[in-house]
Amino acid sequence: MTDDQMIGHYRIVELLGSGAMGAVHVAIDTYIDRTVAIKSLRPELTRDPDFVSRFRGEAKSLALLNHPNIATLYSPVIDGADMHLVMELVRGKALDEVLRERGRPLAVREALAIVAQAADGLSYAHEMGVIHRDIKPANLMISNDGRVKIMDFGIARVRGSVRLTRSGTAVGTPLYMSPEQCRGGEGDERSDVYSLAIVLYEMLAGKPPFSADTEYDLIQAQIAATPAPLVPRIAGVTPSLEAAIMTGLAKKPEQRFATMRAFSDALGATVLRPDATGIIRNATHLIEARAEDAEPVRKSDAIDVAKSRFLRFSRGWSALGGVAKGAVLVGGAAVLAAGFYTARGTDVAEAPKPASPAAARAPSVELSQLRLAIKGSTAGAIHASDFEYVTNGVKAQLLGPAKTLAAAGDAEGQFVLGMLLLDTPALLDVNAAFDALNQSARQNYPDAQVNLALLHQRRKELDKASLWFEKAAAQGNAKAYFWLGCYDQFGWGGRPKDTQKAVEHYGRAIAAHYVLATDALQSLSSGAAAGSPCLK
């Protein structure tokens, strides 16, 4: 295609780039004198049904979307056998070019400013039922005004649509592909969370968490390998930021954040959204920014390293099945405790070597999902039904690290300490637990806010419970949504009975995969209030 050639009423003026599927040109809309980008499918590919389906799929996906962080589709153009998409022209550079030309990792604030915008666009797309399925640096454009634009919805999936790929066929880019996509699954919102977590890891560490010589080995790493820790080797990465990234990189979708918004909130990216374009400025600024110009960051100290190891221990725990938990605790409790207390001397500067298949099946024993395993019953009594394989002795071993973190003012440590004091008979101290949870909750830690609310609820202080549920719900906590639905349905805590609000809160809890909310909504819809899990 040459300059000044016409496609419909669009005059081609410049070639932007070309690839396996086609080319992208700058063009002028001669009707309204607007500069646009035109994405054209290679003529020989228009005879291939798979490519045509992908091209049309991108048009259908983009037609649903209108967001400042997503490249806008103006219209498709069919010119004889040729197929084109007329799109918003985004001047700038793709993130992969920025990282390549920069030659070193981005600062934490710059990386989070990019993720804040990408997460905002993806969250909107997910709300509209569109899953991107190929998030990677090459598909994130840094525009000349500092705005991030999500590109290439060619393999996006509209929720509920007929699948365009064969079952069992992997779709995506292996370096950034979620484990379920590697296995040939369709993937959902949580697949995009995984891919964006890899992009963030690469921006901070200078390389993705997994690499291999062959595509097969890379896919196996995505399915089974554990990412190297970022604390303390990456300056400015806190244990809480690392924990959010690693949760986003969980192998099982149900262990990741349920929504892109929850992921962004946990990273601390959402609060940067209003200033994100100013932080980024443009691609040239990111490439040329000197290390000495970056904001000073506090280096990790012993507390950070201890917390990082503690959270890594926690995350691995939930991946174990019941039998595996029992075997690990019977055979290795002393080793685990020793490993934690000697973590300060661990060398984490180099990524671990690829694990053997046998080693990959034996998860690293870590403990984060203590906080996911610790559950409040539907009656508000706090217990831990998932702790049946965790001995009181192991819980007692966690008490020391939790106290250390809590004494340092760490919200996560305060939360874990509070739950240990509530859950372990030998350690039971409700008043001390209340104080620890209260300190954590006041630092805006949502799990602590929910469990503090449940303690208030158990004390019949429903007005106070309602306020803490509200605070946790504002951060996307599924259990808080459920309980607010109960409070709205029955008029507890001084709230007026409001069926519409109850339905809304139950719906949000269901969207975040909180099972009891489904039963509550069914009970509300049927009018059988006595059967509600709120009252059991």
Spatial separation of the C-alpha atoms in residues 373 and 398, rounded to whole Å = 15
Secondary structure (3-state) at 370: helix
- Active-site option among 50, 79, 96, 134: 134
Quote the Cα angle for 151-253-248, to 5°. 65
Spatial separation of the C-alpha atoms in residues 521 and 451, rounded to whole Å = 22
Q: What count of other Cβ atoms lies within 10 Å of the Cβ of residue 388?
A: 11
Spatial separation of the C-alpha atoms in residues 391 and 395, rounded to whole Å = 7
Does 134 qualify as catalytic in the annotation? yes
DSSP string across 341-366: HTGGG---SSPPPPPPHHHHHS----
The kind and range of the H/E element at 38 are strand 34-41
| Among the listed residues 92, 76, 73, the one whose alpha carbon sits nearest the alpha carbon of residue 84 | 76
DSSP string across 51-72: HHHHHHHHHHHHHT---TTBPP
- Cis peptide preceding 232, ω within 30 of 0: yes
| Among the listed residues 354, 157, 445, the one whose alpha carbon sits nearest the alpha carbon of residue 419 | 445
Asked if 307 and 351 touch (Cβ cutoff 8 Å), the reply is no
Read off the DSSP letter of residue 7: E
Residues 6+ positions from 274 with CB-CB distance below 8 Å: none
Spatial separation of the C-alpha atoms in residues 368 and 472, rounded to whole Å = 19
Spatial separation of the C-alpha atoms in residues 459 and 468, rounded to whole Å = 14
| Among the listed residues 514, 516, 472, 512, the one whose alpha carbon sits nearest the alpha carbon of residue 258 | 512
Spatial separation of the C-alpha atoms in residues 105 and 5, rounded to whole Å = 42
Please give the distance of CA 148 from its chain centroid, rounded to a whole number. Answer: 18
The kind and range of the H/E element at 24 are strand 22-29
Around 33, how many Cα atoms within 13 Å sit in the side-chain half-sphere? 0
Spatial separation of the C-alpha atoms in residues 180 and 220, rounded to whole Å = 11
Catalytically active residues, by annotation = 134
